[in-house]
Amino acid sequence: MSNLENVPKSGRLANRNSNHNVPSVSNWLDDIFNRNLSSVFTSDFNTGISLPKVNIRETSDAFMVEMAVPGLKKSDFNIDIDNRVLSISTETKEEHEQKEGNYTRREFGYASFKRVFSLPESVNDEKINASYNEGILNILLPKREEAKQKPSRSIEVA
């Protein structure tokens, strides 16, 4: 499904003619802030959500997007389409407080992700639907009738 463009966090598509050997300031900052923190800063409480991997499959009638995001609820997802750009995001917050004896332990966690894709013109964005089952988010992107692959047929010569 090479027609879908993965849009970076900045929301801008990369210039296809740019020199890939020279990192942009945006890429450089992303590298700094997206590095894994050492184990000193992590715990079993706040595991967060890494950027989920996406499988995209094309058939003659539709594109299917599968995203593995276990541990969430259907209501955790925000799926939006704006100007042929599909955005999939979630945000979760959690707080725990434990009191024993003369101490209190209070922890909180926050996790989020956002994946953004440019949709090809062939997608009928009025009929997009999504489902979430057993940790897998499925999004069906049906093609417009005129974009669907027609079966081959024989033409008789008159």
Task: Break the chain into its structural domains and give their ranges.
Answer: 5-13+20-53+67-121
Q: What is the pLDDT of residue 150?
A: 78
Q: What is the mean pLDDT of residues 142-147?
A: 88
Considering the chain, what is the average pLDDT of its residues? 77
Q: Which sign does the torsion angle of CA 56, 59, 63, 66 carry?
A: negative
Q: What is the pLDDT of residue 28?
A: 55
Cα diameter, the chain: 96
Q: What is the pLDDT of residue 9?
A: 53
